[in-house]
């Protein structure tokens, strides 16, 4: 049993934390996250040079990481600065490319940006509700349907799209240039896209892809939970600091027990969120990965909303302003619940496991 | 990061598991499963069995006859005991007074009292709380006045757990009424057979008898029963608060309770279907199961830190707060799973054919009400929040 990071991972964490704090502070983040292309292309290249993407792929796929704990290190650092770069798409695409045995050089070097297009308007999370259809067409395939809120899709070079081929859920590669892509900013910063497919040419990456897709989702959940832990740590620290600085009725408001105990409850939930994220990271790739990923996403979803709402409430009006960082941390913490399955969706998955047992 | 036990720890776990399978008598595990109060003979029998194997004093170093186990080994032992439905070790002599004597007691006190704790000669209870001193323990008023070679003690202790069985009580007494609150307190050992002591039972919310009031009227004990220095008893009280808190989350007990709730929900029919198929109830189970899964890791993280740093930190208060809330939620679900059949008062229905649900899950209303205590005792959850406010948030 050892809860310390290995030396290599600690070095990567230190490097990323230092780089993001110096080069990608929240003020800069707020500028780029809401202006096209809703990220900073120059800094994407720098992040790739620092190894942020190499850490997401295993050695046999050209990276130097790829375990749950490697993913956690990268995304916790991203979360501490609520960084808007489309790294989640790279991670999930890397899992799918690895499952297909495909080359990842362009991905891990950052040369090509990938977006993973599973979700649809009426299939936000459930893979068995995906309607997008694939048709064999000569040597290749064509896809038709609408993929919705494709995170990172506004700048993707390549989409990995889930569609049904002869009744089997499969994953296809679609070049952005071949598709109808409408990009936009998200409420919590960064971008996404609607992807309209109308007999759009595609190449088959994985046939019968449900297991590979679930692995990609599980990895994405570890990433989102780690991101949330990083963002919650910072949000809580800012809030506790504010309780010490802000005076009302002649004393720091942190002297009021009603706020003290609520700040402690935030701490308790953050530690629980960190714990379940560690568990999900440890189980990634193993038989029970989906069950623990669901547990993590449910608990982190609850904790993140609590931290966001309590941080805003305990700050008072200042955290309602665009200028104050807590408003942006709060938005990210609430909205990441809607990525890869929300609190209720994952609770129902844990329930289904219990009912079946 | 590595969440698995070392090869040595796995071997130790297997050894504990095999020992329990072979040596834990079924009449004892059945009594634990039934969930009511354990009798004194059952607790003594279990202590004696463990002591025979050298496994009773899990928090003591080997030189005092303890196991010398690491925090992780203690955790494994407690977890396995819960899995096997072994009784909890009564903590007052073993986890509380023992370490105090080892840290603060004289050689004579150690030589006299420690072996008697191990072999079961002395059953200890704790004299801390008073009617006017609960969370504000330092305001205690029980007075000890020196008279030659003796202390004369007058006052009242309360919430004295299992005091009805006890041979001895360790007391915090006020010995200097003029000093500041914390600095006028001493730690004194009192023979329960001393004239002037009266034990009165307190009937608890569910009707059970676990705790007592203890009255002291001109109780005379030797001056040498003082542990540590006169007026330094608060140091000992604080030592006890931070000592041996690795089991404080009660993860093993919550895992027991979760299995019980699931078993009940599979057995109980609502609308003609097992209750576990009911989405509302199933969601409550899943929610607390997720919290418990996280608590297991939080517990291990703090154990790991305690093992690395030599002592648990103040953040163990998180274990107390969240651990008790999870356990209480599970007790609530067990009660609700049985519906009205959880309500019959314990003791009336003894015919196995008439039992409400399987015998090991009966009386869940009683257990629910009894377990409201866990967020109150051992420093209420509000006191734990105060501790975290000061130590972790520095507010």
To the query of whether residue B230 is one of the catalytic residues in this protein, the response is no
Instruction: Return d(Cα B133, Cα B171) in angstroms, integer.
Output: 13
**Residue B37: what pLDDT?**
83
Contact, B364 vs B342, CB < 8 A?
yes
Instruction: Name the residue facing A275 among B297, B386, B395 (closest C-beta).
Output: B297
B113 lies in a domain? no
Domain boundary among B232, B253, B269: B232
The pLDDT tens digits for A202-241 are 999 999 999 999 999 999 999 999 999 999 999 999 999 9
Domain count for chain B: 3
pLDDT of amino acid B343 = 85
pLDDT band at B33 (very low <50, low <70, confident <90, very high): confident
In a domain, B293, yes or no: yes
pLDDT-derived band at B340, boundaries 50, 70, 90: confident
CATH value at residue B341: 1.20.140.10
Q: Is residue B237 part of a domain?
A: no
**3-state SS, residue B187:** strand
Residues B289 and B384 in one domain: yes
pLDDT at B346: 78
Reported as a single tens digit per residue, the pLDDT across B86-137 is 999 999 999 999 999 999 999 999 999 999 999 999 999 999 999 999 999 9
pLDDT at B241 over 80: no
Decide: B35 and B360 in contact? Cβ < 8 Å. yes
Looking at residue B356, its pLDDT comes to 64
DSSP 3-state of A192? strand
State what percent of residues in chain B have pLDDT above 90: 83
Residues B332 and B386 in one domain: yes
Write the DSSP assignment of B327-381 as a string of letters: HHHHHHHHHHHHGGGG-SPTTS---GGG-SS-GGG--HHHHHHHGGGGGTSSS-H
Shortest Cα–Cα distance, B280 to chain A (Å): 10
> How confident is the model at residue A121, as a pLDDT?
97
Chain B residues lying within 8 Å of A1, measured CB to CB: 2-6, 9, 72, 300, 304
For B393, the closest chain A residue by CA position comes to A240
Judge if B295 and B215 occupy the same domain.
no
pLDDT of the residue at B357: 60
The pLDDT score that the predictor gives to residue A312 is 98
Q: Are residues B39 and B134 in the same domain?
A: no
Do B218 and B356 share a structural domain? no
Percent of chain B with pLDDT over 70: 96
The pLDDT tens digits for B174-197 are 999 999 989 999 999 999 999 999
Write down all domains in chain A, each with its CATH number in brackets. 7-112 (1.10.540.10), 115-208 (2.40.110.10), 212-356 (1.20.140.10)
On whether both B325 and B220 belong to a single domain, the answer is no
Measured between CB atoms, which of B276, B286, B304 is closest to A347? B286
The domain boundary residue, chosen from B89, B112, B140: B89
Smallest CA–CA distance, residue A89 to chain B, in Å, is 25
- Boundary residue ending a domain (B232, B259, B275): B232
Among chain A, residues having any CB pair with chain B shorter than 8 Å are 1-6, 69, 240, 243-244, 252, 254-255, 257, 260-261, 263-265, 267-268, 271-273, 275-276, 278-279, 281-282, 292, 295, 298-299, 347-348, 350-351, 354-355
Helix (H, G, I), strand (E, B) or coil at A133: strand
Catalytic residue among B244, B259, B289, B329, which? B244
- B185 and B295 co-located in one domain: no
The residue ranges of chain A whose pLDDT is under 50 are: none
In chain B, which residue ranges form alpha helices assigned H by DSSP?
7-23, 26-34, 40-52, 71-83, 91, 98-104, 107-118, 233-242, 251-267, 279-309, 316-338, 364-370, 381-388
Cα A193 to its chain centre, rounded Å, is 15
Asked if residue B191 is part of any domain, the answer here is yes
| Residue B224 located in a structural domain | yes
B284 with B359, same domain: the answer is: yes
Indicate if B249 and B383 belong to the same structural domain. yes
Residue B246: what pLDDT? 63
Q: Does residue B98 belong to any structural domain of this protein?
A: no
Instruction: Return the biggest CA–CA distance within chain A.
Output: 78
Which residues in A lie closer than 8 A to residue B302 (C-beta atoms)?
A: none
Whether the CB-CB separation of B393 and B315 falls below 8 Å is answered with no
Q: Where residue B223 sits, what CATH number does that domain have?
A: 2.40.110.10
Per-residue pLDDT tens for B307-327?
Answer: 898 877 888 999 999 999 999
Q: How far apart are the first and last CA of chain A?
A: 29
A contacts of B276 (beta carbons < 8 Å)? 354-355
B348 confidence band (pLDDT: 50, 70, 90): confident
User: What whole-number distance in Å separates Cα of residue B253 and Cα of residue B227?
Assistant: 34
CA-wise closest residue to B215 among B230, B233, B200, B235: B200
Q: Are residues B62 and B157 in the same domain?
A: no
Q: Do B370 and B272 sit in the same domain of this protein? A: yes
Distances (CA, A) of B324 to A166, B26, B38, B291: 52, 28, 21, 12
B269 and B358 belong to one structural domain: yes
Average pLDDT over residues B246-257: 89
Per-residue pLDDT, B362: 59
The average confidence (pLDDT) of chain A is 97
Q: Taking Cα atoms as reference points, which of B129, B122, B137, B113 lies closest to residue B90?
A: B122
Full residue range of the structural domain in which residue B30 is found:
7-89
> Is B117 inside any structural domain?
no
B193 touches chain A (CB under 8 A): no
Angle between the N-to-C axes of helices B316-338 and B251-267, in degrees from 0 to 180, rounded to the nearest 10:
20
Residue of B nearest to A242 (CA): B395
């Amino acid at each position: 049993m050892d809860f310390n990071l290995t030396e290599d991972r600690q070095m990567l964490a230190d490097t990323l934390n230092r780089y993001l704090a110096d080069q990608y502070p929240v003020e800069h983040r707020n500028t780029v996250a809401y202006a096209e292309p809703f990220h900073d292309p120059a800094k994407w290249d720098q992040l790739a040079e620092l190894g942020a993407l190499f850490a997401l792929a295993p050695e046999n796929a050209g990276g130097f990481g790829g375990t749950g704990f490697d993913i956690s290190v990268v995304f916790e650092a991203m979360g501490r600065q609520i960084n808007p770069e489309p790294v989640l798409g790279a991670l999930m695409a890397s899992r799918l490319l690895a499952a297909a045995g495909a080359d990842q050089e362009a991905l891990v070097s950052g040369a090509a940006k990938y977006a993973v297009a599973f979700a649809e308007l009426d299939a936000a999370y459930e893979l068995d509700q995906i309607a997008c259809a694939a048709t064999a067409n000569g040597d290749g395939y064509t896809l038709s349907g609408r993929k919705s809120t494709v995170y990172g899709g506004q700048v993707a070079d390549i989409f990995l799209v889930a569609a049904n081929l002869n009744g089997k859920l499969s994953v296809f590669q679609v070049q952005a240039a071949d598709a109808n892509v409408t990009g936009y900013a998200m409420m919590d910063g960064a971008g996404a896209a609607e992807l309209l497919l109308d007999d759009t040419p595609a190449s088959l990456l994985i046939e019968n892809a449900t297991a590979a897709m679930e692995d990609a989702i599980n990895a994405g959940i570890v990433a989102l939970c780690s991101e949330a832990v990083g963002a919650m740590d910072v949000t809580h620290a800012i809030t506790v600091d504010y309780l010490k600085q802000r005076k009302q009725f002649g004393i720091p408001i942190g002297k009021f027990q009603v706020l003290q105990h609520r700040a402690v409850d935030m701490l308790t939930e953050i530690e629980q969120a960190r714990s379940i994220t560690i568990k999900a990271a440890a189980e990634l790739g193993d038989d029970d990965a989906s069950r623990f990923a669901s547990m993590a996403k449910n608990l982190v979803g609850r904790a993140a909303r609590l931290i966001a709402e309590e941080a805003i409430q305990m700050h008072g009006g200042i955290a309602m302003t665009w200028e104050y960082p807590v408003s942006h941390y709060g938005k990210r913490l609430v909205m990441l619940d809607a990525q890869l399955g929300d609190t209720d969706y994952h609770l129902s998955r844990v329930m289904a496991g219990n009912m079946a047992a | 990061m590595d969440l698995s036990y070392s090869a040595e720890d796995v071997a130790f776990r297997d050894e504990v598991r095999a020992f329990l399978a072979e040596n834990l008598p079924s009449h004892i595990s059945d009594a634990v499963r039934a969930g009511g109060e354990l009798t004194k003979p059952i607790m003594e029998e279990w202590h004696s069995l463990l002591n025979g194997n050298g496994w009773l004093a899990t928090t003591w170093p080997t030189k005092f006859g303890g196991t010398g186990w690491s925090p992780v080994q203690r955790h494994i032992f407690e977890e396995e005991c819960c899995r096997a439905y072994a009784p909890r070790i009564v903590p007052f002599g073993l986890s509380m007074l023992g370490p105090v004597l080892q840290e603060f007691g004289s050689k004579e006190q150690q030589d006299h009292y420690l072996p008697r704790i191990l072999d079961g000669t002395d059953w200890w209870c704790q004299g801390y709380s008073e009617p006017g001193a609960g969370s504000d323990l330092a305001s205690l008023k029980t007075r000890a006045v020196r008279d030659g070679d003796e202390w004369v003690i007058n006052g009242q202790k309360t919430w004295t757990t299992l005091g009805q069985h006890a041979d001895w009580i360790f007391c915090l007494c006020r010995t200097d009424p003029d000093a500041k609150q914390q600095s006028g307190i001493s730690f004194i050992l009192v023979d329960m057979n001393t004239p002037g002591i009266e034990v009165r039972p307190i009937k608890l919310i569910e009707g059970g008898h676990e705790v007592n009031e203890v009255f002291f009227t001109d109780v005379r004990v030797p001056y040498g029963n003082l542990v540590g220095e006169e007026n330094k008893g608060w140091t000992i009280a604080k030592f006890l608060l931070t000592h041996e808190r690795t089991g404080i989350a009660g993860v093993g007990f919550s895992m027991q309770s979760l299995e019980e709730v699931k078993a009940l929900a599979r057995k109980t029919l609502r609308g003609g279907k097992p209750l576990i198929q009911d989405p509302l109830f199933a969601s409550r189970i899943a929610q607390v199961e997720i919290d418990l899964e996280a608590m297991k890791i939080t517990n291990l993280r703090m154990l790991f830190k305690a093992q690395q740093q030599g002592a648990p930190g103040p953040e163990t208060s998180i274990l107390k707060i969240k651990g008790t809330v999870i356990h209480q939620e599970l007790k609530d679900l067990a009660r609700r799973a049985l519906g009205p059949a959880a309500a019959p008062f314990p003791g009336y229905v003894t015919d196995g054919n008439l039992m409400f649900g399987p015998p090991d899950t009966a009386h869940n209303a009683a257990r629910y009400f009894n377990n409201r205590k866990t967020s109150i005792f051992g420093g209420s959850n509000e006191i734990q929040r105060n501790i975290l406010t000061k130590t972790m948030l520095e507010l």
